[in-house]
Amino acid sequence: MNYERFQNQASIVRKSSPLRDLPGKLSARPNAISMAGGLPDPEACPFIEATVKLRDGSELQIDPGDMALCMQYSHTEGFPDLRQWFKELQRRVHNPPALGDSNHPGQTDVILMNGSQDALCKSLEAMTSPGDNILIENPAYPSPGIILKPRGCNMIPVDSDAGGMDPDNLRHVLSRWSPEDAKDPSSDIPKLLYCVPTGGNPTGSGLTLERKQEIYRLAQEYDLMILEDDPYYYIQFTEPLVPSFLSLDVDGRVMRFDSMSKLISPGARLGLLTGPQPMIQKIVKIIMCSSIHVSGISQMFVLSLLKKWGHDEFLARAKETSNLYLKRSQLCVKYLKKHLTGLAEWTRPTGGMFIWIKIPAVTNTNELILRTYLKDALFVAGSAFLNDSSAPSQYIRASFSLATSEQMDQALSALAESLKEILSKKT
């Protein structure tokens, strides 16, 4: 693959920071006396050690040596031990064809980020230029649009349904170009395809393996990089887990974004970026001159926890988390049936934290959202997830991740009451 196709001019000319290269040089020669880096004296740090109590009653002990490590500047890519733990996780779960293959031009690499959205933002910063056409599922998680519009990019919607992004519609959208256009630097053919393939936000839908395979073939045909934003991958409501785009990636054309926010803690701000090394290194150069690296405290807390658990227990706990949200989704459907049967339509989510509700009797749910808010129940209007957020939408996104059974009952009752008030005005 020609990875320059997926880089903007700033990425092509950006250099590494000579100062941020120092941690790697120091770790390679641990006995060397360093008068090179601007590392603060540890004596100036007030933190010595810590004990962290876990929900199961056990404790993590952060000893003085580990505390000194996590309080100092560290590797841009993340703690080596923690990166290695996650590389092994990716091997176990996804087994990317190019992971560990040093002869592959797109050898798979893994780095740590300040949450998966930070990884997405920096990836788009490295890969897009004004005027670029970006393929994006419709409806879509709004953050890519918030990132891309100020960059002067055009988002080209690809229809999604209850099965996620529709490969037939993707082929139709791409048909205005020829695959040969991908070899022409002056062509406006899209280079990037963005989607949330599991527990889609906002729809709760998930791509089947068959659809992923078809989409990947189209990406090969038109030379697209797939941005696989997958924070809900482990929150799937069926078994076995549907294989990821990363697991299909023989070419090195998938940038995968994983999050620990849904499995460990959103406050830890820890995510993973997995993808072809030539692209990963471009992101590393951006980190060098921006966030420098993920919080050492967060990395050490998570590393200590994952060492205690091991990969098997991590995966078992991820399954417990999935079961928790499955039960919440079932409760949400129960109260939807109770209050909105005949008034609304919905599809059972296949994963994630959301359910997508259609209100056929209205053309725009904004008024409905406002009326329900005044009854102390908050939902999100479907227009928030459209390329043009000012366009009307008949949809509502409901999240079942936090509300109790009683709260879901009350909120959906308020939604139904507000809808009936609107409908009564029309008669």
Q: What is the pLDDT of residue 398?
A: 98
Answer whether residue 180 shows pLDDT above 70.
Answer: yes
* Residues whose CB is less than 8 angstroms from the CB of residue 190 and which lie 6 or more positions away in sequence, other chains included: 132, 133, 134, 135, 156, 174, 177, 222, 224
Q: What is the pLDDT of residue 231?
A: 97
The encoded tokens of residue 331 equal 């409760």
What are 154's strand-pairing partners?
133
Provide the pLDDT confidence category of residue 35 given band limits of 50, 70 and 90: confident
Q: What is the pLDDT of residue 209?
A: 97
Q: Determine the average pLDDT of the residues in 275-285.
A: 97
| Residue 339: φ, ψ to 5° | -105, -25
The encoded tokens of residue 295 equal 């919080």
Q: What is the pLDDT of residue 344?
A: 98
Domains of the chain listed by start with CATH number: 3-311 (3.40.640.10), 324-426 (3.90.1150.10)
Q: What is the pLDDT of residue 387?
A: 87
> Mean pLDDT for the chain?
95
Write out the E strands in 233-299: 254-259, 271-276
Going by C-alpha positions, the residue among 278, 226, 235, 236 that lies closest to residue 256 is: 226
The count of other CB atoms within 10 Å of the CB of residue 200 is 30
b/e 226-252 (16+ beta carbons within 10 angstroms → b)? bbbbbbbbbbbbeeebbebbbbbbebb
The encoded tokens of residue 392 equal 């009307």
Going by C-alpha positions, the residue among 210, 215, 208, 214 that lies closest to residue 137 is: 215
For residue 335, CA distances in Å to 203, 340, 406, 412, 422 come to 18, 8, 10, 7, 20
**Full-model pTM:** 0.94
Distance CA 100, CA 107 (A): 7
Q: What is the pLDDT of residue 97?
A: 96
Q: What is the pLDDT of residue 234?
A: 98
Provide the pLDDT confidence category of residue 174 given band limits of 50, 70 and 90: very high
Q: What is the pLDDT of residue 427?
A: 67
Distance CA 381, CA 262 (A): 23
The encoded tokens of residue 191 equal 């280079």
Q: What is the pLDDT of residue 363?
A: 96
Q: What is the pLDDT of residue 340?
A: 98
Q: What is the pLDDT of residue 131?
A: 97
pLDDT tens digits for range 292-342: 999 999 999 999 999 999 999 999 999 999 999 999 999 999 999 999 999
Going by C-alpha positions, the residue among 12, 14, 34, 10 that lies closest to residue 22 is: 34
pLDDT tens digits for range 368-416: 999 999 999 999 999 999 988 899 999 999 999 999 999 999 999 999 9
Distance CA 293, CA 275 (A): 18
Q: Determine the average pLDDT of the residues in 209-231.
A: 98
Q: What is the DSSP letter of 6?
A: G
Going by C-alpha positions, the residue among 256, 261, 257, 258 that lies closest to residue 298 is: 261
Q: What is the pLDDT of residue 316?
A: 98
Q: What is the pLDDT of residue 74?
A: 92
256, 275 Cβ separation under 8 angstroms = yes
Distance CA 266, CA 261 (A): 4
Provide the pLDDT confidence category of residue 19 given band limits of 50, 70 and 90: confident
b/e 331-360 (16+ beta carbons within 10 angstroms → b)? bbbebbeebbeebbebbebbbbbbbbbbbe
The encoded tokens of residue 342 equal 């005949």
Q: What is the pLDDT of residue 36?
A: 76
The residue count for the chain: 427
pLDDT tens digits for range 5-18: 999 999 999 988 77
Going by C-alpha positions, the residue among 356, 374, 357 that lies closest to residue 421 is: 374
Provide the pLDDT confidence category of residue 425 given band limits of 50, 70 and 90: confident
